[in-house]
Amino acid sequence: MLSKKRVITFGAMLGISALALSGCAASTGAGGDVTLTLATVNNGNMVDMESLKGEFEAANPGIKVNFQVMEEGDLRSAVTADVANAAGQYDIVTIGAYEVPQWGANGWLTDLTEGLNDGSYDVEDILPPVRSALSVDGKQYAVPFYGESSILMYNKEILDAAGQKLSKNPTWQEVAAVAKAVKTDDVAGICLRGKPGWGDLFAPLTTVVQTFGGSWYDMNWDAQVNSPAFVEAVTFYKNLLDEAGQPNPVDYSFNECLNALKEGKVAMWYDASVAASFLEADDSPVKGKLAYSHAPVVKTKESGWLWSWNLAVPANTKNKDAAIKFVKWATSKEYHNLVGTKLGWSKVPPGARISTYSIPEYKEASAAYGPITLEVMNAVNPVQPGVNPQPWVGIQYVAIPEFQEVGNQVAQLVADAIAGRTTVKEALDKGQKIAQVAGDAQK
Amino acid sequence: MRKLKNSLITSLTWLIVIIFFFPVFWMFINAFKSEQDASAIPPTLIFEPNFSGFQRLMDRGMADYLLNSLTSSVLSTLIVLLLAIPAAYALSIRPIKKIQDVLFFFISTRFLPAAASLLPLYMIFKSLGVLDNINALSLVYAAMNLPIAVWMMRSFFNEVPMEIVEAAQIDGANFRTELIRIVLPIVLPGIAAVALICFIFSWNEYFLATLLTTSDAKTAPPFLASFVDGRGLFLGVLSAASMVAALPVLIAGWIAQKQLVRGLAMGAVK
Amino acid sequence: MTTQTTAKTSVVKVETQVKKARLSRALILPALIFSIVLTQIPFLVTIYFSTLEWNLLKPTEIKFTWFDNYVAVFEKGDLLPATFATIGITSLAVVFSVVLGLFLAVLLDRKFRGQAVARTLLITPFLLMPAAASLIWKHSMFDSNVGILSWLTEALGGTPIQWTTDLPFLVVVIMLTWQYTPFMMLILLAGLQSQTPEVLEAAAVDGASAWKTFRWITLPHLRQYVEIAVLLGTIMLLQVFDPIAIITKGTGGTKTLSYLLYERAFVGLNVGEAAAYGVVTVLLTIVVATVALRSLFKVFIEGGQR
């Protein structure tokens, strides 16, 4: 008898917990107030957006925005798993130019075309190359929060002190020579990303590979990862890091290099153009001491990448209307004005709207880097960034779903080579196999 | 001579203790520094206390995450106790034949890599609609801690003298009186120890929390990483966040050291 | 008459036995069912997934593929290095922390000023949230710009070590040893303090040196404590994830099985392949565990036998 009672008690207990579960699941989303969950990357412009979200909440009573800020790699896995499983946990996601067309085609993202089509928003004002990268079959699936290319940034004072000069369109050989010449015990010649991850290490490194004449794949989707040009480029990158790069390179990505240049610990830095706005911000110790030039080249005319961080609304969100409202707010002209007046004009998200570049205050604040950003973004060629034609559109990435995985694995191998645990050739031979499997899937 | 040797050993002990404690000490100190001071090299020891780090924690809603941590830790510990006490009682005081197999099963579930069925777990949660649900996370934590709890608890029950139990049974005490009046008081300190350890493990858990929660049910550990800021200095606020997140368990562990030792040494310590 | 009574009592006895066994089972069952539902059912789903060709990024192409995923797992060849990384990190961290823990336990097992405070400070690393510990070590200790370790080596006239680039494996082992030494110390200290003082006094009276007493009396006594410490430490360290995800991202031979599985599942997003990785890892663990566990398991059976 007793035993039965016990069993019933425990059964009831399990039942209660199950009820509690379902009860809780049902209670979210109910009620008048909407809480939007936004997943984003821990870059400066997004942190600004979080600090200004109160303005949106004040203007739209009943809508709260909950920011989930993550490192780039963590963001990618969290958001991809969520969206691919149609879990619908995020109402707004921050995704790159790489994901948008693929996810849009998969039907994972809300088509924003109609929602953006109101006069006050002025969708035509968005930079054309960026906007076209976010559309599939005329449907726009995301809006750029900011757009960027890659440029070379350098500290004039350090270069002048060493008697070095760089042109507006330097070659990698010139850059390497300058890096070695200005390097001292306390100041590294150049900062380059070494953190494993396709979006970290392989963003700059792929552009280097392309201007050296290499590519991930040829027109038949055969992997070219251990081709002589690819090996030469990676070897050049590694040697440059060894001879004149920042210490502890595997720890460094965008943010780390940004700090190093700001603190005067490196003389040059090749990375995203968006960095310039932080370097020229009022609180930056190197404000006004920097110069900018196009991405260094070898065999191509331009070598900058094209990237945008975009806001998109997953197809499964329960709060579509509120989410679109926020997306429009955060990418509007008014938001750019708000950032300018509240946080300083240099912090306005660059590379997203044409009109931004004609705001007088912004022009003044971005005089050093605004024009070159716009110039480079319009000059790069995502259809054929390298020496040879390629079967996809995109510069620093290969626009296939497998690339994320391939890029990450090869990045880890190259990071091992940068740290000297393997040779570049060994790393890339292994990488070639990984890349070939993904290439075969495209044939 | 002997005195000198003694004080030498004492100094050595303290030296090692300080080395071990230093990272924690440094975290505490940095939590009260301005960002400039926290990242200064050479490190600053004298500084003006600055609470802006803690202010930012509050602004970013850390209280909610701490509350989630508390809910999942308490709830999972309660579930574990409810399940483990009867099981341990049966395994110890009224053992059945296949007891070894049962124990072995429990241990082996703890040995198997949780990561192996992670994606399926994620998908099951998704189809039940309980992703980002604090109760669901608590259930997972309970399953994670149950094996160790059963094990530890059983060794505490083993300390109950069989004669007392038998005497009670002869006196006609039914099962419930036997458990509540006689056995539980003896093993109560053991139960406290197990509860403490389960609480600590749940509170500190990062892996499952990162993957199974996003915002509503997110606990403190995954929230910490978001203080690694894109724009420069963040050591101060990161230290403040780490300190606040770690403090409840630190204090509990400091106070209940005896229980901790007892639990970890599995009741072998009398 | 007498025979009848005996028969009756034995029937009653059997009945109570049966009843008792039923009660025992009913008490264990909830815990067992709970465990099975939450740990075994997801695993069954894993086995099923492992036979599918299913990449989350290509939602339209799901099909049954038999064992293709397993072939892919073995062709990729990252399982073996991950196994070595797991074994290497776990065993090094366990050995270092047991040795250090024993040393510290001996040091703390004597009366000195502030003994309780010292013990309290010492156990803190074990209590500190591993995610917090990893972040603090990464950004505040090992960092090449603002890390204390870099500053210290430089202040002492050395060249700063590029910790996370050059020595990621060591970084993880150092952090884990730091975390688990207090844990080992606590258990071993409990062991030391459970020695009967009379035995030690007797040894001293007999003129045994401190070292001999330690070697021949204390160490054998500590054996079962060491075994418990090693077993518990191993169980927890085998699944270690936080410092790898936060500090090294799996570079430089730190990609343990846990991290590999996570990466396959949440970065690769290839459901079928990730599941196959999971199944193979579980089989691997079972093989290792049955060998290691069966021998270590005796500790619990013996230690807990009444």
pLDDT digits (tens, 9 = 90+) for A48-95: 999 999 999 999 999 999 999 988 888 988 999 899 888 889 999 999
At C48 the pLDDT is 94
pLDDT band at C227 (very low <50, low <70, confident <90, very high): confident
DSSP-based three-state secondary structure for B183: helix
Residue C57 lies in a domain: no
Tell me, yes or no, if B55 comes closer than 8 A to chain A by beta carbon: no
Containing structural domain, residue C106: 79-254
Residue C144: which of A11, A248, A419 has the nearest Cβ?
Answer: A248
**pLDDT confidence of A219, banded at 50, 70, 90?**
very high
* C132–B221 C-beta distance less than 8 A: yes
Residue type, A274: V
- Please tell me whether residues C128 and C22 are part of one structural domain: no
Question: Do B120 and C182 make contact, defined as CB atoms within 8 angstroms?
Answer: no
Residue A217 has pLDDT above 70, yes or no: yes
How far does C280 lie from chain A, in Å, by closest CA?
20
Interface of C with B in 96-115 (CB under 8 A): 104, 107-108, 110, 112-114
The verdict on A80 touching C (C-beta cutoff 8 Å) is: yes
Question: A-chain residues within 8 Å CB-CB of C253?
Answer: 421
Neighbours of chain B (3+ CB pairs under 8 A): A, C
* The residue type at A40: T
The answer to whether A382 and C247 are in contact (CB under 8 A) is: no
CA atoms of A150 and A376, how far apart (whole Å): 8
Question: With bands split at pLDDT 50, 70 and 90, how would you rate the model's confidence at A210?
Answer: very high
Shortest alpha-carbon distance between residue B58 and chain A (Å): 13
In whole angstroms, give the CA distance from residue C77 to residue C87.
17
Q: So what's the architecture of A150-304+381-440 in CATH?
A: 3-Layer(aba) Sandwich (3.40)
Q: Chain A to chain C, count of Cβ pairs less than 8 Å apart?
A: 103
User: In degrees to the nearest 10, what's the CA dihedral of C16, C22, C25, C27?
Assistant: -80
B-chain residue closest to C239, CA distance: B113
Asked if the Cβ–Cβ distance from B229 to A68 is below 8 Å, we say: no
Inter-chain residue contact C267 with A195, CB threshold 8 Å? no
Per-residue pLDDT for A287 more than 70?
yes
What's the pLDDT at B171?
76
CB-CB contact of A65 with A53 (8 Å):
yes
Alpha-helical (H) ranges within chain B are 2-31, 35-38, 52-59, 62-93, 99-111, 118-128, 134-157, 162-170, 175-177, 184-204, 207-212, 220-224, 235-255, 257-264
Chain C residues 180-209 with CB within 8 Å of chain B: 181-183, 186-187, 189-191, 193-194
C38 and C105 housed in the same domain? no
Q: Do A2 and B139 touch (CB under 8 A)?
A: no
Distance CA A414, CA A422 (A): 9
Least confident of A399-403, C232-236, C274-278, C300-304: C300-304
- Say what percent of chain B tops pLDDT 90: 48
pLDDT value of position A104: 93
Residue A397 has pLDDT above 90, yes or no: yes
| 3-state SS class at A231 | helix
- Is residue C15 domain-resident? yes
Whether A128 shows a pLDDT value over 60: the answer reads yes
**Domain count for chain C:** 2
**Mean pLDDT along residues C296-304:** 55
- Same domain for C42 and C97, yes or no, is no
Does residue C260 register a pLDDT over 70?
yes
Specify the pLDDT at position A302.
93
Task: State whether C49 and B119 contact (CB < 8 Å).
Answer: yes
Residues in chain A closer than 8 A to C251 (CB atoms): 196, 250, 412, 415-416, 419
Cβ-Cβ contacts under 8 Å, C177 against chain B: none
Q: How confident is the model at residue C11 (pLDDT cuts 50, 70, 90)?
A: low
Whether C269 is covered by a domain: the verdict is no
**Quick check: A81 and B228 CB within 8 A?**
no
Give me the pLDDT at residue B158, please. 86
- Residue C271 within a domain: no
Instruction: Determine phi and psi for A391, rounding to 5 degrees.
Output: -85, 20
Strand (E) or helix (H) holding A403? helix A403-418
What are B179-237's pLDDT values in tens digits? 788 888 888 988 999 999 999 999 999 999 998 998 899 999 999 988 887 666 789 99
C285–B112 C-beta distance less than 8 A = yes
Q: For residues B153 and C79, is the Cβ–Cβ distance under 8 A?
A: no
Q: Which residues on chain A are in Cβ contact (under 8 Å) with B123?
A: 85
Mean pLDDT check: name the lowest of A125-134, A217-226, C87-96: A125-134
Please tell me if the domain spanning A34-148+307-365 has the same topology as the one spanning A150-304+381-440. yes
Q: What average pLDDT does the segment A18-37 reach?
A: 56
pLDDT digits (tens, 9 = 90+) for A94-108: 999 999 999 999 999
Min mean pLDDT across B89-98, C5-14, C277-286 is at C5-14
- Name the phi and psi angles at A11, rounded to 5: -60, -45
Q: Which residues of C touch A (CB under 8 A)?
A: 19, 22-23, 25-27, 29-30, 34, 55-59, 76, 143-145, 160, 162-166, 168, 249-253, 255, 263, 266-270
**How many angstroms separate the Cα of A38 from the Cα of each of A105, A145, A330?**
22, 13, 12
DSSP-based three-state secondary structure for A143 = strand
Q: What is the mean pLDDT of chain C?
A: 86
- Do residue C268 and residue A106 have CB atoms under 8 angstroms apart? no
Q: Residue A335 pLDDT more than 70?
A: yes
The domain ranges of chain A are: 34-148+307-365, 150-304+381-440
Residue A2 pLDDT exceeds 80: no
Within a domain: C134:
yes
Using 50, 70 and 90 to split pLDDT, how confident is the model at A32? low
* Chain C residues in contact with B263 (beta carbon < 8 A): none
If one compares B232 and B160, the residue with the highest pLDDT of the two is: B160
CA distance C237 to chain A (A): 23
Same domain? C108 vs C247: yes
Considering only the top CATH level, what class is B61-264? mainly alpha
- Residue A20 above 80 pLDDT? no
pLDDT of A26: 39
Whether residue B268 is predicted with pLDDT greater than 80 in this model: the reply is no
Average pLDDT, integer, range A227-247: 96
Q: Extract the runs of DSSP E, i.e. beta strands, from A149-223.
A: 150-155, 188-191
CATH of domain A34-148+307-365: 3.40.190.10
Angle at alpha carbon of residue C71, lines to C65 and C77, rounded to 5°: 145
A contacts of C26 (beta carbons < 8 Å): 3-4, 6-7
In angstroms, how far is CA A132 from the centroid of its own chain? 17
pLDDT score of B170: 77
pLDDT at C299: 57
C19, C58, C252 member nearest A421 (Cβ)? C252
pLDDT for C15 equals 63
pLDDT bin (cut points 50, 70, 90) of residue A28 is: very low
Look at residue C37 and tell me if it is in a domain: yes
Asked if the Cβ–Cβ distance from C275 to B30 is below 8 Å, we say no
Q: Any chain C CB within 8 A of the CB of B204? A: yes
- For residue A11, pLDDT over 80 is answered with no
Say which residue, C4 or A127, is predicted with more confidence: A127
Residues of B in Cβ contact (< 8 Å) with C297: 104, 107
One-character DSSP codes across A57-102? HHHSTTEEEEEEEE-HHHHHHHHHHHHHTT----SEEEEETTHHHH
Q: Which pLDDT value is given to residue B98?
A: 74
Per-residue b/e over B242-259, b at no fewer than 16 CB within 10 Å? bbbbbebbbebbeebeeb
Q: What is the pLDDT of residue B164?
A: 83
- Work out the pLDDT band at C39, boundaries 50, 70, 90: confident
Residue A17's pLDDT band (boundaries 50, 70, 90)?
very low
ipTM confidence: 0.92
Q: Which residues of C touch B200 (CB under 8 A)?
A: 127
Please count the CA atoms within 13 angstroms of the CA of B155 that sit on its side-chain side: 23
Higher-pLDDT residue of B155, A150:
A150
Quick check: A260 pLDDT over 50?
A: yes
Query: Residue C41 pLDDT > 80, yes or no?
Result: yes
Residues in chain B with CB shorter than 8 Å from the CB of A20 are 135
| Structure-block tokens of residue B236 | 């101060």
Contact yes or no for A248 and C23 at CB 8 A: no
B154 in contact with C, Cβ within 8 Å = yes
- Pick from A48-57, B65-74, B93-102: least confident: B93-102
- Asked if residue C178 and residue C134 are part of one domain, the reply reads yes
pLDDT at C231: 83
- Residue A19: the pLDDT is 41
**Tokens, residue A150:** 């890659």
CA distance A20 to chain B (A): 7
Q: Is residue C115 part of a domain?
A: yes
